[in-house]
Amino acid sequence: MKEIGTFLDAGKFAVAGVSRNPKKFGHIVFKTLLSKGMDVLPVNPNDFVYDGITSYKTVSDLPDDVKALIIITQPAETLKVAMEAISHGIKNIWIQPGAESKKIVSELEKEDINLITRECILMYCKPNGIHAFHRFLRKITGKLPN
């Protein structure tokens, strides 16, 4: 079951799939979450520094106080990244649309985690602009999960 409030209350977050390219969605999500005051770390297998924050090469390299992971990878990598997170003790996993597949979701639903799929993190973390509008529409139509 999706528990978005639990995910957002996790405290320290990481984003797997942060790109060095400022036009890529992984970069946009990371930058946006930072700008909203979230304690967030980037995960990128290549050396990457954004605003003085150095990326971690793998999820396993993250500090133990990271309790939530947002995954914005190619679907071929998503299950591996998610399973690595679970092994590292991360129990809150958000898979952005485009990084998921039915097979991935089916596999991860077997795990004892808070799994969020088919939702955009930017609609829930102090949304503004188009994300705030989408959130409003979903709320008035009764399609906004908790």
Domain count within the chain: 1
User: Per the domain annotation, does 144 fall within a domain?
Assistant: no
Q: How many CA atoms lie within 13 A of 29 on its CB side?
A: 29
User: Can you give the residue range of the structural domain that contains 76?
Assistant: 4-120
Which CATH number goes with the domain that contains 100? 3.40.50.720
Give the percent of the chain with pLDDT over 70.
84
Q: Helix count (H) and strand count (E) of the chain?
A: 5, 7
Cα separation, 123 vs 30, whole angstroms: 14
User: Per the domain annotation, does 13 fall within a domain?
Assistant: yes
User: Per the domain annotation, does 129 fall within a domain?
Assistant: no
User: Per the domain annotation, does 83 fall within a domain?
Assistant: yes
User: Per the domain annotation, does 133 fall within a domain?
Assistant: no
With 0.75 as the threshold, say if the pTM is over it: yes
Region 106-130: mean pLDDT is: 83
> What does the pLDDT look like over 45-77, one tens digit per residue?
987 888 889 999 999 999 999 999 999 999 999
User: Per the domain annotation, does 138 fall within a domain?
Assistant: no
pLDDT at 129: 52
Nearest residue to 31 (alpha-carbon basis) of 45, 44, 15? 15
- Please state which of the ranges 7-16, 21-30, 41-50, 132-141 shows the lowest mean pLDDT: 132-141
User: Per the domain annotation, does 35 fall within a domain?
Assistant: yes
User: Per the domain annotation, does 132 fall within a domain?
Assistant: no
Hey, is 138 helix, strand or coil? helix
Q: For residue 138, give both structure tokens.
A: 């979903």
User: 49-50 and 53-54: which strand pairing?
Assistant: antiparallel
